[in-house]
Structure 1
Amino acid sequence: MTSNEEMLVKLASADNIYDVCFPSDYLIEKLIADDLLAPIDKGSIPNIKNIDPRFLDLSFDPGNQYSVPYMWGTVGILYNKTMVTDPVDSWNILWDAKYSGEILMYDSMRDTIGITLKKLGYDINTRNEADILAAQEALIAQKPLVRAYLTDDIKMELINGNAAMGVVYSGDAVYCISENPDLAYVVPKEGSNVWFDNIIIPRTSKHTLEAEAFINFLCDAKVAAQNSDYIGFSTPNAAALQLMDPAYAADPTYNPPQDVLDRCQIFRDLGDFVKVFSDAWTKVKAA
């Protein structure tokens, strides 16, 4: 599955055969509302004690009745310091004609409309149609400057110096910077999305005990440390972070300071208003 939206379709299908999935915050909120998740027996997951309390009891799953934290991070700009001569502290640089043909945008409706809303000073979860129209118009105006809309391919494009900047997840930025030290990552001053991928068990699972055992395994400090080190994404597991190279905790890309988090928002389920986002996204992609 390549997106939360694709995951929703699969989990809502009568053919759903999954025992464990890793959706993001706003999808978890919708899956709970749609009664598609099995409650989690935290008594079967003693390693949940390793999770940093900051990442428990969040708005999309109060009390963690249906999900256990897995990875987290931010959305920001990854840029090449040898190609970008201006300060990178605002989303506005993605609209700077000086970098025409050197800008990569993330091919994701919520992420791309979300950062545009932030650029314009709006709430990332707005239900105001005028805000969405303004974001749509801004993205259409930007299209002539954009080299491409990509997902995973953004990483290699930036590592290889084929573009000056792109919108990426922080965990991907950690990997890219390790491959090309000319790259740097920033969460712009207007704010961004802070996201959480949690582990869930679909209500249709026929192996809930095994699923809970697997979740407990993933929450083991050593396992979580190795997992985070391998994929580059930030662990919510406090015990795991203590086992990792101290450079991770000191890296503001991997472990952003509180002032960065204070200007970020969690995506919420939009309900029926998602159609307004979808219609705007369709128009942006077709422009």
Structure 2
Amino acid sequence: MILICLLAALTGCAKGEPENSLTVFNYGLYIDESVLSQFEDETGIRIKYEEAPTPEELYTKYKSGAIKYDVLCTSEYMLQRLINEGELKEIDFSDMQNVSDIGEEYWEFTRSFDPENKYVMPYFWGTVGLLYDKTKVHGDISSWDVIFNGEYAGDFIMPNSMRDAYATALKYLGYSLNTTDEGELREAQELLLSQKKDVSAYLVDEARDEVIAGNAAMAVVYSGEAYYAYEENHDFAYCLPEEGTNLWIDCWGVTRHCENVENAKKFLDFLCREDIAWANYEEVKYASPVKSVMARMSEEGLASDAINPSPEKLAKCEVFIQLPEETTDLLSSLWKELKAQ
């Protein structure tokens, strides 16, 4: 019996005593990984880090239960789903000293799916639009039409993400990207099916690099990817199409599996600290909700639609919401059909 107790103590598996670690689930290329080591050094809390490329894949992997994640970062409509399913714990922000540096407008943004600001903490926000190489296109780009009219056949990349792909078609057709109308969704499907012969690839994180490398004239990307490309070469530009697009906010939540909520809160608060938030901005180039980060932005950054779009352009954007189960099932079926063609 003594031997068993000693072994339990040595392995850190004593009943009722959570391991001093956090299992963190995030999108790919969405953090400066050096800050994870810095957090471990400062706190002694070990980070186990996992990634997924899209909200749907993140959700599927999370719900499989194969890994018990403690904290995760995903998009507003998926967070809404997780909240509704009871998968996230409430967070007491009152003793988190750095969280106060998040601008009030971002807490207001999250109230659309977390009405009392109890479950999520804003991380990055942005839009979906067109990254393009000005040396390979005919004038400035202003519309989704360029990816549907055949002009750039074989020279553009579509997102390998279900909601984002259908959003481009729905907005081009004049519909809401949150439509539940089957006729409108099937009309978008026909448009995407007819477009497919012209698509060079369906990608997520790799799309930006393909445009930078000269392998495509344009790609549907998240805004931070476009600003990263612009900083690499000013021949790259970003378009928020005139028909409108998606405005998104990604946030962190603490899952119901988390046994050490205080460790989770330390990690979330650490991400809001100015030096850490700036390091993450510098790494991923997405707009930060942290006020001290925005105060350090260059005039060039603040003038970019990829970082700071005008109120007029934002007014044409929509935020994804959780769709009814039957609509999600229909979309999933249409997406599988599209990818199988």
Find the counterpart in structure 2 of residue 10 from structure 1. 61
Q: Counterpart amino acid of 1:276?
A: L
Asked whether the 8 Å contact 1:48–1:219 carries over to 2, the reply is: yes
Say whether 1:208 aligns with 2:208: no
Q: 1:29: how far off? A: 0.1
Structure 2 gap segments, 5+ residues each: 1-51
| Paired positions, count | 287
Q: 1:206: how far off? A: 1.1
Asked whether the 8 Å contact 2:53–2:205 carries over to 1, the reply is: no
Find the counterpart in structure 2 of residue 144 from structure 1. 197
| Per-residue CA distance 1:178-217 (angstroms, 9 max, x = gap) | 2222111011000000111101110110121011011111
- 1:74 pairs, out of 115, 127, 137, with 127
* CA–CA distance in structure 2, aligned partners of residues 232 and 252 of structure 1: 12
Q: 1:159: how far off? A: 0.3
* CA–CA distance in structure 1, aligned partners of residues 179 and 197 of structure 2: 26
- 2:94 pairs, out of 38, 43, 53, with 43
RMSD of the TM alignment (CA)?
1.4
Find the counterpart in structure 1 of residue 337 from structure 2. 283
Identity of aligned residues (%): 38
* CA–CA distance in structure 1, aligned partners of residues 316 and 215 of structure 2: 30
Q: Counterpart amino acid of 2:203?
A: L
Q: 1:153: how far off? A: 1.7
* CA–CA distance in structure 2, aligned partners of residues 8 and 36 of structure 1: 11
Find the counterpart in structure 2 of residue 112 from structure 1. 165
| Per-residue CA distance 1:33-83 (angstroms, 9 max, x = gap) | 000001001113232211111111331211221000000110000111111
Asked whether the 8 Å contact 2:126–2:307 carries over to 1, the reply is: yes
* CA–CA distance in structure 2, aligned partners of residues 229 and 246 of structure 1: 15
Say whether 1:54 aligns with 2:105: yes
Find the counterpart in structure 2 of residue 156 from structure 1. 209
* CA–CA distance in structure 2, aligned partners of residues 29 and 9 of structure 1: 15
Find the counterpart in structure 2 of residue 32 from structure 1. 83
Structure 1 246/182 Cα, relative in aligned 2: closer, same or farther at 3 Å?
A: closer
Q: 1:223: how far off? A: 1.9
Find the counterpart in structure 1 of residue 138 from structure 2. 85
Asked whether the 8 Å contact 2:134–2:140 carries over to 1, the reply is: no
- 1:96 pairs, out of 149, 155, 161, with 149
* CA–CA distance in structure 2, aligned partners of residues 271 and 176 of structure 1: 36
| Secondary structure of 1:244's aligned partner | coil
- The TM-score, its normalising length taken from structure 2, stands at 0.81
Q: Counterpart amino acid of 2:304?
A: D
Q: 1:222: how far off? A: 2.7
Find the counterpart in structure 2 of residue 193 from structure 1. 246
* CA–CA distance in structure 1, aligned partners of residues 296 and 263 of structure 2: 27
- The TM-score, its normalising length taken from structure 1, stands at 0.96
| Secondary structure of 1:201's aligned partner | strand
* CA–CA distance in structure 2, aligned partners of residues 282 and 122 of structure 1: 22
- Worse-superposed segment, 37-46 or 221-230: 221-230
| Secondary structure of 1:133's aligned partner | helix
Instruction: Name the structure, 1 or 2, with higher relative contact order (CA <8 Å, separation 6+).
Output: 1
- 2:188 pairs, out of 114, 122, 135, with 135
Aligned runs of 1:174-189 on 2, under 5 Å?
174-189=227-242
Asked whether the 8 Å contact 1:16–1:204 carries over to 2, the reply is: no
Q: Counterpart amino acid of 1:192?
A: T
Say whether 1:249 aligns with 2:302: yes
Say whether 1:269 aligns with 2:325: no
Asked whether the 8 Å contact 1:136–1:283 carries over to 2, the reply is: no
Asked whether the 8 Å contact 1:42–1:48 carries over to 2, the reply is: yes
Structure of greater Rg: 2
| Secondary structure of 2:98's aligned partner | helix
Asked whether the 8 Å contact 2:126–2:224 carries over to 1, the reply is: yes
Q: Counterpart amino acid of 1:190?
A: E
